[in-house]
Structure 1
Amino acid sequence: MDIRFVRTAHPAPGSPAPDGPVTEGPVTDHEPAELPVLLTRTDGIVWVDVPTWDDAAERILADAFAFHPLAIADCRERRQVPKVHVYGDHVFVVLHAPSAGRAGHVHYVELDQFIGPNYLVTVHGPLNPAVDPDEAMVEVRSALRRIVDGRFRPELPFEISYALVSALCGRLRDYTATLTGEVWDLEKRVTGGHLGDVEQFLEELFRTRHGLITVRTMAALSREVYARMARINVFGTKRGHRLLQDTVDQFDRLAAMAHSQKDYLQGTIEFYQTRTNTKMTIAAERLAVIAAVTLPITALSSVLGMNLIVNDETHYVSLSVTLTVMLIMSVTLLVWAKRKGWW
């Protein structure tokens, strides 16, 4: 568990002035025992990050912050759907980011946030053992790097939360870009006829489609969470509301991008299916022609064959007539099938 104090650019009115020049950086690390004192300070934001859930983290969330037991349970257990709960003095938000797994599986990397008046608590939900733990820290490290480098000076906790969500949107966008590259490659292989192993190709098609549907679902559900927060003005009607509206817009556009790429891939799938069905139809028509051509031969030979060629004598005239009739019927059927355009 990491406990940080992020100094704000403009301390709140009434906060004590530091003795002498400020030598601390914008972010300082602290021990859990210092948390009660840190929460009373008005010159910055307390940021508690929980990379891995344990009993110590649960005690701090319950004792130091007095969070609702159900919210703590949501952090302890995996949640498949984004959600938001607005409490008296803080907001609890659950979001997900994608992580590519094996065989086309997309892992849900959970990020939980408690956004209070002077604190932010981020909890990284239970991870699938197949997911690299660093995957859960992408957003936190991105925002922290910007603060430490001086490129981002948050004044309020929801501004850090906005930075985290923007980084999460960036991850969704990057994953969509990766899937888009796969869509283009698949489209080139379909139109060029270079499919390779057909079963493997079909699996690649539907893996990519599944990934795009997953991104669209994540973005659409997260959009609804932030649209709800914007509607009830969780962070006020000024800058906080603008940031919420921008977050809604980001998720809207990500969902639209993933949906558009999914439709493009669906068109590629339909192109492939149409070409395959056409080939199968042509093959079936040719087989039907072959069956039609051989049908008269089979019918006549079955009726007359035993009577034309026998052990004692062969009726050459009748045999010749029969063979001629069989040939004429077969040629007639072939000409008729040709005129119909069946071969």
Structure 2
Amino acid sequence: MLINCAAYQDGRKLADIDIDSISDYVARPECFVWVALKDPDPDELAVMKHEFDLHELAIEDAQHGHQRPKIEEYGESLFAVMHTVEKDDDGELLIGEVDVFVGRNYVLSVRRNTRTGFQNVRARCEREPELLKEGSAFVLYALADDIVDRYFPIIDSLSSEIEALEDRIFERNDSAASRAIIQDLYSLKRRLVILQHHIAPLQEAISKFTGGRIPNICEGMQAYFRDVYDHLERIVRTIDGRREMVVTAVQVNLGMISLAEGEVTKRLGSFAALFAVPTMIAGIYGMNFEKIPELHYKYGYPLCLIVMLTVDIVLYWRFRKSNWL
């Protein structure tokens, strides 16, 4: 699906154009054309390949999708793959892909499985004609910057989930609640791993524009791409920190379960002791021996009960004082 197709010159939009006119504007050295596609079919990509003279391997990657985030050079053009991350209504992560072809006189962006478009990026570029004069390189930066900025709300929401789970850990929970906490922590860790898998490679790709040999198309844009790289570095470090927090939370939760089991064991042991002492005394006097002391004593029975009761009262007081009961 064609979303937008426009021509720009000297940082300003000339006009929205149709596909058949693309080659006319691309032929002008002072112009560049920006085309946006959504979930295109092979025929649409074939037309773009013809209009912009795109590399066969780059077209193949864009057509099949599911590429690792990367930036590759094909002669005087670039092919960038970036992943978008969104959340569905159930809080699960939705991974999309944006493929960007960049040449001296064109930008072709192809997005797949992405709910939110990039109309705001086009509007931003058109509001900044001084920067848009840089041409297609600035558009590539603006797209990358917007995609990276969309990662921050996802990270913030996962951080809020971690804080909520940490509060739940220290509440008095039964075994079912503790099991649910562990399941939620594992789900959170899985989503953090997914995030790192789709974000960390982009950091490595963007680093190509921040030092060393810079592609000719992006000369003069190093400072802008360095800003994107810094954001990615911050995000990756945050993800690593949140993963460590999840691991720690799992360990703390298991520790709390062990403490709760220990409390139950102490209570059971305390009640067992309260019954054990009277049972021992009663068992001794229940033996079939005639020479048991005080066996025929007139007040032996009530005295024995008093001793049992006194011992239990003392034990109960000690257990209560030690917080075992």
- Asked if Structure 1 and Structure 2 have the same fold, meaning a TM-score greater than 0.5 normalized by the shorter chain, the answer is yes
Per the alignment, residue 92 of structure 2 pairs with: 105
Q: Is the 8 A contact 1:61 1:72 kept in 2?
A: no
Which of 269, 277, 293 is residue 288 of structure 1 equivalent to? 269
Deviation at 1:67, TM superposition (A): 2.9
Which of 201, 206, 218 is residue 198 of structure 2 equivalent to? 218
Aligned residue identity for 1:147:
C
Deviation at 1:101, TM superposition (A): 2.5
Q: Distance in 2 between matches of 1:184 and 1:154?
A: 45
Number of positions where the alignment pairs a residue of Structure 1 with one of Structure 2: 313
Q: Is the 8 A contact 1:98 1:172 kept in 2?
A: yes
Unaligned runs of 5+ in 1: 11-24, 128-132, 309-314
Deviation at 1:53, TM superposition (A): 1.5
Q: The residue matched to 1:233 in structure 2 has which SS?
A: coil
Unaligned runs of 5+ in 2: 290-294
Per the alignment, residue 168 of structure 1 pairs with: 147
Deviation at 1:325, TM superposition (A): 8.3
Q: Distance in 2 between matches of 1:67 and 1:236?
A: 15
Aligned residue identity for 1:44:
C
Aligned residue identity for 1:9:
D
Distance 1:148 1:340, change over 3 A: closer
Identity percentage of aligned residues:
19
Per the alignment, residue 292 of structure 2 pairs with: none
Residue by residue, what CA displacement relative to the aligned partner does 1:107-166 show, whole Å, maximum 9, x if unpaired?
A: 1111111111221111113x2xxxxx542x1xx212111234456634221110100111
Q: Distance in 1 between matches of 2:180 and 2:67?
A: 30
RMSD: 3.9
Distance 1:299 1:83, change over 3 A: farther
Aligned residue identity for 1:222:
L
Per the alignment, residue 153 of structure 1 pairs with: 132
Q: The residue matched to 1:287 in structure 2 has which SS?
A: helix
Distance 1:305 1:235, change over 3 A: farther
Which of 180, 188, 208 is residue 159 of structure 2 equivalent to? 180
Per the alignment, residue 233 of structure 2 pairs with: 252
Per the alignment, residue 6 of structure 2 pairs with: 5
Deviation at 1:82, TM superposition (A): 1.0
Residue by residue, what CA displacement relative to the aligned partner does 1:240-285 show, whole Å, maximum 9, x if unpaired?
A: 3333322211211122234344545655555554444322221122
Q: The residue matched to 2:108 in structure 1 has which SS?
A: strand
> TM-score, normalised on structure 1?
0.73
Deviation at 1:59, TM superposition (A): 1.2
> TM-score, normalised on structure 2?
0.76
